[in-house]
Structure 1
C-alpha cells in the first residue's frame, strides 16, 4: 500500500481545525436526550445561571423533562448557560430555530424580556417561561405561557415554621439576586414569622444584584455564618446554587436552614428543617402535556400555587425528625386558612 506524506504545515493546520471544531462543539452547551422515537414531540429547554447540578431550580426543571419523557414519550434538548448567562437570548433563538422543537422553555425570571421578544419572532412555536416576570403593561404573546408560583404564600409558611421552631428569637433570610420575585420570598417569610411572633428578630441579606448572585456558594456561606454568629438559629435561603453555601454553613455550625426547591435531594438532612418548593417539575410536565394536547394556555401568566401543592413545604421522613408534630399541625392549619381566605397573603 502506498504511503501518503503530508507536510508539517498541513499537519499543523489539520490539528488546529480539529481543536477548533472540538471547542466550537463544546461551547454550544447543547445536549440531546436519547430518543427511540424520531417522531416524538420535541421540547427545547434553556437553563438559568447555575445550570444542571444546582440541586435546586434548574435540576427541578430538568426532572420535569425526564418526567415528560417517561410519561409522555417526548424528546428534548437543553442548553447550559455560559458565564453569567449573557448568551441567554442566543440560546433561546438557537432552540426556536430548530425545526423539530415544538416548545421552548426558559428557566427563570431573567429570561422574561428575551423570551417575550423571541416568541413574537417565532409565532408558530410555543414558548413557556418559569417565573415569568414582565413589566406592567407588557403584552404577552398568545404563544407564550408565563409560569408563576405563589412564592409569598409558601414563604409565609416558612416564616411561621421558623418562628415556632426558633430557640433564640432570631431568624435569618438570604436571597440570591435582589429582585421583586426574591423580595416576595423575603416579605412572605417576614409576614409569616411575625404572624406567629410579632417581636421576632429577622436578619436579611441578598447576595447580589445580577444573575450571578444565584451561583456564588462562597458568598452564601459567608453571609450565613455572619447571621448565625449574630444569633439566628434558622435561616431561610432563596438563592439557587448559592444556597449550597448556606447549607454548608448550617452544617458547620449545627444550626438549621430552610431551603427552596430541594425536594428530591437532601444534602444535609440533620440541618434542613424543610424546603419551600415550587413544583417546577410538575409545572413543566403539565405545560408540555397541555402543549401536546391542545390545552396550551398562552397569552397570560399561569399560576401554580398552594392549591394542588404546586407551591408547598416538604414534609418527609427527614423533616418530621426536626419539626415538632404539634408545629406541623399548626402549619397545616395555617396553610388551609390561607386557601380558605381566613389569612390574607397577597402575592
Structure 2
C-alpha cells in the first residue's frame, strides 16, 4: 500500500501489535537510553558480592609422653581440649607422642596443614617447638611448662611452689607420725620448685615436721614409671611417712597406689586425683593446664593471640586445691580454714613462696 506521495512505509518490529503494545515496546527500549534519576548509564554498577567470612582456624595439640589418659598432666590438658570442643563446637586435632623424637615431625605436619595454634604439652618438647616456630614463622604455637622466646610462640608456666605450699600446710596438719613424703619425677627446677613450696607450707604449720623426698630419675622417662613411683613411696612409708605427695606425672599413679595400699594418705597433682583412691587422697593440687590449653585455643579463634609468657599462680586460678566428696571426710574445718587462709595470703602478696628458679636455692634445704 502506498500513500499519496507514492512511498511505501517501512515495516517495523512492532507491526501487528496493538497501539498499547507498541507504546510499551517503545518505552522499554528507551529505558536503556534515558539516564535514571540524573545518573548516566555508565555510572550504574553491578551489585557487590558479600564476602564469605574466613572459617575459624582449627587448633592442634601434641601431648607429652604418657598419653592424654595418663591420669595427670596430659589428662589435664585433654580436659581443656574437651571444654574447648564443647563450648565452641570446633574440632581439635590431637597427637600423642610415644617418644620425644616424634614431636618435631608432628608439629611440622600440623603447621604445614594450617592448624592454629599448635600447642605442645611439656618442657621436653621445647626444642621441637623452637625449631618448628623458626621453620613456620607465619604459624602460631603454644607451649605448656616452658618458655620459648620467639615472635610466634605463647608460653604458659605456673607457680608450682604456691600450690605446693598449700599441700604442705594440709600434709603437716594431717600427719600423725610427724613425717611426710615427696616423690618427684625428673630432677629438674620445676620439680625442685614444687618440693621447696611443699616444705615451706609444712614449716609454716610446725618446724618439727620432717620431709623425706626422692626424685625418680634424670630423664623424661621419670614421669612415666608407676612401678618406680610405687617403690619409692613404699621406701618413704618405711621411714615413717604417713602423707606423701607425688609430683611425678604418670609415675605418681604408683605413688598414690602405694599410699592407699598402706592405709596412709597420698596427695595428687596436676589433675584432680581424689577419685583414684577415695578416702586415701588427702587432696589434689591442680596445675590448671586445662585452663592454659583452653585459653591458648580461644585466643587464636578470637584473633587476640599474643606471643610471650603467661605466669599462672594461685591468685589467678593457675594453681588450686580440690575439696570434693572423695576427700571431704579427710579435711577438717581447721584444715580447710588454714588452706583458704593460705590461698588468700598468697593471692594478696602477704605470703611470698620461695621460687628456686628465680630466687635461688631453697632456704629449707
TM-score, structure 2 as length reference = 0.80
- Asked if structure 1 preserves the Cα contact closer than 8 Å seen for 2:274 and 2:281, the reply is no
Structure 2 distance, partners of 1:294, 1:305, is 25
Question: How far does the alpha carbon of each residue in 1:140-171 deviate from its partner, in whole angstroms, 9 at most, with x for none?
Answer: 11210001111110001111111111111100
Q: 1:133 to 1:174 in 2, by over 3 A?
A: farther
Q: Does 2:72 align with 1:56?
A: yes
Q: Does 2:277 align with 1:268?
A: yes
Query: What displacement does 1:319 show?
Result: 2.0
Query: What displacement does 1:297 show?
Result: 2.4
- Asked if structure 2 preserves the Cα contact closer than 8 Å seen for 1:40 and 1:73, the reply is no
Question: How far does the alpha carbon of each residue in 1:245-292 deviate from its partner, in whole angstroms, 9 at most, with x for none?
Answer: 011101210010111023277211111000110111122111111111
Structure 2 distance, partners of 1:297, 1:342, is 31
- Asked if structure 2 preserves the Cα contact closer than 8 Å seen for 1:40 and 1:75, the reply is no
Structure 2 residue aligned with 1:166: 175
Aligned residues: 302
Structure 1 residue aligned with 2:8: none
Task: Name the Cα RMSD after superposition.
Answer: 1.6
Structure 1 distance, partners of 2:134, 2:204, is 44
Contiguous gaps of at least 5 residues in structure 2: 1-53, 356-365
Q: Does 2:150 align with 1:141?
A: yes
- Asked if structure 1 preserves the Cα contact closer than 8 Å seen for 2:186 and 2:220, the reply is yes
- Asked if structure 2 preserves the Cα contact closer than 8 Å seen for 1:48 and 1:108, the reply is yes
Contiguous gaps of at least 5 residues in structure 1: 1-37, 135-139
Q: Does 2:351 align with 1:343?
A: yes
Structure 2 distance, partners of 1:265, 1:273, is 7
Q: Does 2:330 align with 1:322?
A: yes
Structure 2 distance, partners of 1:276, 1:252, is 21
Q: Does 2:102 align with 1:93?
A: no
Q: Does 2:306 align with 1:291?
A: no
SS state at 1:106 partner: strand
Query: What displacement does 1:39 show?
Result: 4.6
Q: Does 2:310 align with 1:302?
A: yes
Structure 1 residue aligned with 2:119: 105
Structure 1 residue aligned with 2:25: none
Output aligned runs, 1:35-46, within 5 Å.
39=55, 41-46=57-62
